[in-house]
């Protein structure tokens, strides 16, 4: 015999369903009470459950987004805990996704850099030791980059005049050609049309930029870069 936790009646063991987490392997409530609870729960939640199940994909997505926004800290904590507990699995999944979607990853990276133009320089400025360590650990990568750039310069043809920097500084009135701020001592000579896009290594394709602007421009097309900065429409 066993006493039901809801109706408090002593009933045969056969009147109780199985429950693996209980000490005796049986539910605390009898079958009659369990069935009554299930019927009451169904009656109280039937319509809301039906509405959830009949929602369109767009409605379900909106509902999920609203939930995440309302529980953003809980979601962050849950995701962080999952990553810690499944680090290798997460890394493998991310690597597989990057390998399968290289163009999408490249586009996302470009969009992020356009929205965060000062991030790289700010990171380098605030983490000089880490940046120095990164350069020390990636000597071969930097060597390949420099070698490729020298080859592009050689193939582009042309030669810069010895006094081009001073001439441009005077023509630009000491201002950056991109942002208009004073050039300062860390000014860079920049190819207006990047060598990788067919630009030439000649005086008419050179401008002076602040180091931050030059690093942000990198090998972008000049029109695309200025449009991303809001100067051209």
Total of domains in the chain = 3
Query: In the structure encoding, which two tokens stand for residue 149, read together?
Result: 């750039």
**Residue 155 counted as domain residue:** yes
**Residue 219 counted as domain residue:** yes
**Residue 204 counted as domain residue:** yes
CA distances from 71 to 23, 68, 161 (A): 36, 5, 61
Task: Characterize the bridge pairing of strands 188-191 and 206-209.
Answer: antiparallel
The reported pLDDT for the residue numbered 6 is: 92
Nearest residue to 217 (alpha-carbon basis) of 117, 123, 142, 136: 117
**Residue 125 counted as domain residue:** no
The reported pLDDT for the residue numbered 232 is: 61
162 and 95 assigned to the same domain: no
96 and 26 assigned to the same domain: no
148 and 223 assigned to the same domain: yes
The reported pLDDT for the residue numbered 114 is: 73
Which residue positions in the chain have pLDDT lower than 50? none
| 206 phi, psi to nearest 5 deg | -120, 140
Query: In the structure encoding, which two tokens stand for residue 117, read together?
Result: 């133009």
**Residue 112 counted as domain residue:** no
**Is there a contact between 149 and 176 (Cβ–Cβ < 8 Å)?**
no
Distance separating alpha carbons of residues 192 and 178, to the nearest angstrom: 10
End-to-end CA distance of the chain, in Å? 83
**Is there a contact between 52 and 29 (Cβ–Cβ < 8 Å)?**
no
**Residue 6 counted as domain residue:** no
Distance of CA 194 to the CA centre of its chain: 27
CA distances from 200 to 33, 144, 196, 216 (A): 85, 21, 10, 20
The reported pLDDT for the residue numbered 34 is: 94
The reported pLDDT for the residue numbered 31 is: 94
**Residue 53 counted as domain residue:** no
The reported pLDDT for the residue numbered 229 is: 77
30 and 89 assigned to the same domain: no
18 and 78 assigned to the same domain: no
**Is there a contact between 186 and 210 (Cβ–Cβ < 8 Å)?**
yes
Strand partners, 26: 18
Domain that holds residue 183: 138-228
The reported pLDDT for the residue numbered 18 is: 92
The reported pLDDT for the residue numbered 81 is: 92
34 and 70 assigned to the same domain: no
pLDDT digits (tens, 9 = 90+) for 124-140: 778 888 888 988 898 87
């Amino acid at each position: 015999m066993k006493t039901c936790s809801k109706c408090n009646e002593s009933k045969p063991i056969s009147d109780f369903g199985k429950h693996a987490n209980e000490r005796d392997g049986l539910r605390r409530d009898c079958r009659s009470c369990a069935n009554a609870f299930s019927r009451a729960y169904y009656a109280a939640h039937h319509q809301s459950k039906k509405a959830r199940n009949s929602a369109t994909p767009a409605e379900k997505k909106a509902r999920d987004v609203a939930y995440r926004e309302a529980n953003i800290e809980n979601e962050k904590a849950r995701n962080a805990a999952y990553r810690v507990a499944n680090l290798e699995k997460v890394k493998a999944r991310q690597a597989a996704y990057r390998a399968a979607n290289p163009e999408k990853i490249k586009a996302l990276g470009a969009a992020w850099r356009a929205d965060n133009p000062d991030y790289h320089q700010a990171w380098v400025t605030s983490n000089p030791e880490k940046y120095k360590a990164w350069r020390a650990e990636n000597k071969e990568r930097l060597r390949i980059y420099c070698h490729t750039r020298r080859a592009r310069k050689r193939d582009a043809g042309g030669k810069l005049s010895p006094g081009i920097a001073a001439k441009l500084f005077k023509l630009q009135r000491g201002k950056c050609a991109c942002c208009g701020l004073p050039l300062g001592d860390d000014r860079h000579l920049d190819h207006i049309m990047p060598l990788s896009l067919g630009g030439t290594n000649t005086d008419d394709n050179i401008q002076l930029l602040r180091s931050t602007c030059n690093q942000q421009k990198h090998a972008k097309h000049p029109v695309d870069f200025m449009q991303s900065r809001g100067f051209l429409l």
